[in-house]
Amino acid sequence: MEQSSSLLFFTFINHAIEVSTPYLLNAVAGLFASVGLHHILSALKSKPELSAKISKLFIVHAAVFISCFAALHLIIIPLLARLTAVPETVLEDERRFSFSMSHNFKRLVAFGTVAVLKSLLLQPVYQFSDRCAKLYFEAFSVPAVKPPTRTLVQKLTFATIDGTIRFIVTFSLVLMAVAVSWIPLIGKPLFVGVISWRMSFFFHSALWDLTPAGTSLHYKTMQIETRWAYHLGFGLLASTLVFALPTDFGDFLFGLAHPLMCLIAVSSQVSSTPIFSIEEGEQEVVPLPIFNLGNRAGDMVLRYIPGPIKAVWTD
C-alpha cells in the first residue's frame, strides 16, 4: 500500500514537472529578455546617428516627465488630500491601499482620481516611448506600419478614446492585483505577478503598434494572454523593483525608464542573436483570460460612443 502511494506521488510530481517546464522556460526567456540592455548599447554603437536621435528623445522625455511628476506629487495630490480628507500617504501608496480592506467610498473615489491622473501623466511617456521604439525598429527591421492620415481633431479623438479604453483595460489588472493581494500568505507575490503582466503590456505596446495587427487593443491583450508565462517573466524584474521601492520612487523610476524598457522589448524581437531561445514546441498552450474583465468593460464603454466618433478609433 505504501509502495503504491509512493509510486502515485512520484508519478504526479513527474507529470507536474513535465507540464510546467514549458511555462518555466518561457518565464525564464522573458526574464532574460528584460535585461537585454547590452544588446541595445552594442546595436546603437554601430549607428551613431540613431544613437544621437534616441539620446535627444530621452533627454526631452526626462525633462517633461520630471516636470509633470513634480506637479502631480507636490501640488495636485496634496490638494486632493485636503479636499477629501484622505491622507496623502494613502493616495500615493497603491500597496497601502491594496493590502487594507478598510476603505470607504470617499477613499475609493480619491484613489480612483489619483489613478486617472497617473494615467494622464504617462501619456507623454507613451508618446516618447513610441517614437524611440519606431526609430529603433525601422533601423534594424522592416519599416513600421504607417498609421492612417488623420486631421488634428481626429488625432485628438483617437488619443482620447484610445487612452480611455487602454486605461480601463489595464486598470482591470490593478483591480485584480488588489483582489489577490487579500489572499493570506501568497497575496503579495500574486500582487507582484499580476502587476508584471501590466508592466509587460506597457513595455510591449510600442512594439505591437509598429506591426499591422498590433494597433488593435484586443490583439495586444491577446499577446499577453497567449504568452502569459513569457510576459510574466519580462515584467517580473520591473514589478518587483517597483514594489520593493517606496511608491513615489517606484512610480518615478517606471516613468523615467519606460522608453528604455520599450527599446528592450523591441530589441528582443529584432535582435539577430536571440537573448534566450526556447524550442518551438515549448510555447504556452493554455491561454489565461487575464484581460477578460478589462476587455468586457472596454467593449461596454465603446457601445455608448457614437458610430462616427468610434470609427476614428477603429480605422
- What are 1-21's pLDDT values in tens digits? 555 666 565 565 655 566 677
The three-state secondary structure class of 51 is helix
Give pLDDT, residue 274.
42
CA dihedral of residues 147, 149, 150, 156 (deg, nearest 10): 30
Report pLDDT for 277. 41
Q: What local confidence, expressed as pLDDT, does residue 56 receive?
A: 93
The average pLDDT across 189-217 equals 86
Question: What's the pLDDT at 181?
Answer: 86
Q: Say if residues 259 and 61 touch (Cβ distance below 8 Å).
A: yes
Tell me what the mean pLDDT of segment 86-109 comes to. 61
Q: What is the pLDDT of residue 233?
A: 93
- Give the torsion through C-alpha atoms of 89, 168, 58, 142, to 10 deg: 160
Segment 240-246 mean pLDDT? 84
The answer to whether residue 284 scores a pLDDT higher than 60 is no
Which comes out higher in pLDDT, residue 256 or 111?
256
Cell 523591441 belongs to 266
Choice between 266 and 112, residue whose per-residue pLDDT is larger: 266
For range 132-140, the mean pLDDT: 87
Can you tell me the distance from the alpha carbon of 99 to that of 112, in angstroms, rounded to the nearest whole number? 16
Distance CA 282, CA 280 (A): 5
pLDDT band with cut points at 50, 70 and 90 for residue 123:
confident
What is the count of structural domains for the chain? 1
To 10 degrees, what angle do helices 152-181 and 307-314 make? Answer: 80
All cell numbers assigned to 172:
482591470
Pick 17 or 102 by higher pLDDT: 17
Distances in Å between the Cα of 213 and the Cα atoms of 81, 207, 282 are 42, 11, 24
C-beta separation of 55 from 128 below 8 A:
no
Q: Region 38-53: what's the mean pLDDT?
A: 88
Which range has the worst mean pLDDT, 77-81, 87-91, 229-233, 273-277? 273-277
pLDDT of residue 170: 87
DSSP3 helix / strand / coil % (the chain, rounded to 5): 80, 0, 20
Taking the alpha carbons of 284, 288, 290, 294 in that order, is the dihedral positive or negative? positive
- Looking at mean pLDDT, say which of 13-27, 40-54, 91-105 comes out highest: 40-54
CA atoms of 80 and 76, how far apart (whole Å)? 6
How many Å apart are CA 74 and CA 221, to the nearest integer? 34
Report pLDDT for 272: 46
Q: Is the pLDDT of residue 276 over 50?
A: no
SS3 107: helix
- Nearest CA to 273 out of 12, 39, 83, 1 is that of 39
- Tell me the mean pLDDT in the region 216-228: 87
- The rounded Cα 214 to chain-centroid distance in angstroms is 15
User: Which residue range forms the structural domain that includes residue 235?
Assistant: 2-314
